[in-house]
């Protein structure tokens, strides 16, 4: 029954390269992961997270120091799926209209014409997003949530598929602004690239001395074919017990003594959506508890705010709170889930 529903859903898209079974989905997405991985050496988890956000119709926040391949990851993903990509360098003097676009008066036609901003692409790289003011950062909010932009009372839809990959420097670096809670909540996941290991860095030196790997990267699927993959992932089965598990984890963040702000309902929804893609990447047509557990920190951590006492005197962080919540909830919820699968 699940397979039939998923086949019907995928057929409404383009059925990317015949991805009409769980194995077919995994085969196509493995090809995308391999293509992006050929450019991003030694970072399979970051590559997988980017693809999960793309196919789950979310957005990705990458927080790390400069020079570790954050922008390269977004460009490699765009190339592998033959998508349009535009990069916005966020600076203190960037204006909201530079992001969304502006209406310009045409003296010939004697009317205003809309000039699209850089947000109108399949994959938008918001580079160093926390170097611009909160007002400019907020220009992304409508597009990220509703996939549209409103300028001068007129609505303009962004292209599909649509993914914002924002890079963020650590807050202790000079010239950065903390992202507002509403902005952070729009991102499905936050990850860090981290420095490459010695072997991967040495390999990078040998391979990229004279050649840019992006120049040799070829698309695996088209942007239109991605629609079939997205439709397939949407139809992955989530049992009521799994939904209960996700809700229990979210509820626990809202009552945790060390947290001033817990996970929003949007976070719970995005956790389940990401888990669907995570399961499909493993060749499964259903979500298991481990899918939820694996994604909990990347999906929840950037949304949680520790209390002053926890973050100061005890040095507790959002990651610590998530770890304690998992220990407690797993003991009381995951056993019944296993029995009800």
Look at residue 201 in the predicted model and tell me its pLDDT.
83
Q: Does this chain's domain 19-226 share its CATH topology with 236-341?
A: no
Integer Cα distance of 71 and 189 in angstroms: 16
Measure Cα distances from 4 to 141, 219, 232, 269, 285 in Å. Answer: 36, 29, 11, 24, 11
Query: What digits encode the pLDDT tens for the residues 99-108?
Result: 999 989 888 8
Q: How many CB atoms lie within 10 A of CB 331?
A: 9
- The angle subtended at Cα 242 by Cα 237 and Cα 244, nearest 5°, is 130
Name the percent of the chain lying above pLDDT 90.
Answer: 48
Look at residue 173 in the predicted model and tell me its pLDDT.
60
Measure Cα distances from 22 to 2, 259, 312 in Å. Answer: 11, 39, 47
Q: Which fold has domain 236-341?
A: Helicase, Ruva Protein; domain 3 (1.10.8)
Report which of residues 106 and 34 the model is more confident about.
Answer: 34
Give, to the nearest 10 degrees, the angle between helix 70-80 and helix 44-55: 50
Which alpha helices (DSSP H) does 124-180 contain, by range? 134-137, 141-146
Name the percent of the chain lying above pLDDT 70.
Answer: 87
* 249 touches 325 (CB < 8 A): yes
Look at residue 67 in the predicted model and tell me its pLDDT.
78
Look at residue 185 in the predicted model and tell me its pLDDT.
94
Select from 298, 293, 287 the least CA-distant residue to 242.
287
* 35 touches 162 (CB < 8 A): no
Query: How much is the average pLDDT of 159-169?
Result: 90
Look at residue 282 in the predicted model and tell me its pLDDT.
93
Look at residue 303 in the predicted model and tell me its pLDDT.
93
| Predicted model pTM | 0.86
Given a cut of 90, whether residue 135 has pLDDT beyond it is no
Integer Cα distance of 254 and 260 in angstroms: 8
User: What phi and psi values does residue 109 have, to the nearest 5 degrees?
Assistant: -80, -15
Look at residue 312 in the predicted model and tell me its pLDDT.
47
Which tokens belong to 279?
């399961």
Domain map (residue ranges) of the chain = 19-226, 236-341
Look at residue 19 in the predicted model and tell me its pLDDT.
52
Integer Cα distance of 131 and 86 in angstroms: 18
Given a cut of 60, whether residue 336 has pLDDT beyond it is no
DSSP-based three-state secondary structure for 260 = strand
Integer Cα distance of 165 and 123 in angstroms: 7
Q: How far apart are the first and last CA of the chain?
A: 15
Assign domain 19-226 to its CATH superfamily. Answer: P-loop containing nucleotide triphosphate hydrolases (3.40.50.300)
Look at residue 15 in the predicted model and tell me its pLDDT.
45
Integer Cα distance of 228 and 15 in angstroms: 4
Look at residue 275 in the predicted model and tell me its pLDDT.
97
Report which of residues 22 and 311 the model is more confident about.
Answer: 22
Look at residue 315 in the predicted model and tell me its pLDDT.
43
């Amino acid at each position: 029954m699940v397979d039939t529903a998923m086949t019907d859903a995928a057929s409404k898209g383009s059925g990317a390269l015949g991805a009409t079974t769980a194995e077919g989905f995994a085969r196509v997405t493995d090809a995308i992961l391999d293509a992006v991985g050929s450019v991003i050496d030694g970072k399979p988890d970051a590559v997988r997270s980017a693809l999960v956000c793309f196919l789950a119709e979310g957005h990705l926040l990458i927080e790390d120091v400069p020079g570790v391949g954050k922008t390269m990851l977004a460009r490699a993903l765009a190339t592998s799926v033959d998508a349009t990509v535009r990069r916005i360098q966020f600076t203190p003097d960037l204006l909201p209209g530079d992001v969304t676009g502006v209406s310009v008066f045409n003296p010939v036609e004697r009317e205003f014409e809309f000039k699209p901003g850089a947000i109108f692409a399949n994959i938008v790289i918001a580079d160093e997003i926390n170097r611009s003011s909160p007002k400019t950062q907020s220009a992304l909010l409508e597009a990220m949530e509703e996939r549209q932009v409103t300028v001068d009372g007129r609505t303009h839809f962004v292209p599909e598929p649509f993914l914002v990959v924002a890079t963020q420097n650590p807050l202790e670096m000079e010239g950065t602004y903390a992202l507002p809670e509403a902005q952070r909540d729009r991102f499905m996941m936050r990850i860090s690239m981290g420095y490459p290991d010695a072997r991967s860095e040495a390999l990078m030196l040998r391979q990229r001395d004279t050649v840019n790997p992006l120049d040799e990267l070829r698309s695996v699927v088209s942007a239109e074919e991605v629609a079939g993959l997205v439709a397939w992932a949407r139809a992955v089965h989530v049992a009521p017990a799994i939904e209960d598990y996700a809700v229990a984890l979210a509820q626990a963040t809202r009552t945790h003594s060390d947290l001033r702000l817990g996970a929003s309902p949007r976070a719970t929804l995005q956790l389940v959506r990401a888990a669907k893609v995570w399961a499909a990447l493993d060749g499964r047509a259903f979500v298991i508890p481990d899918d939820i557990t694996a994604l909990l920190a990347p999906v929840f951590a950037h949304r949680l705010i520790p209390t002053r006492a926890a973050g100061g005197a005890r040095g507790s962080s959002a990651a610590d709170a998530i770890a304690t919540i998992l220990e407690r909830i797993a003991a009381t919820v995951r056993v019944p889930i296993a029995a009800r699968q």
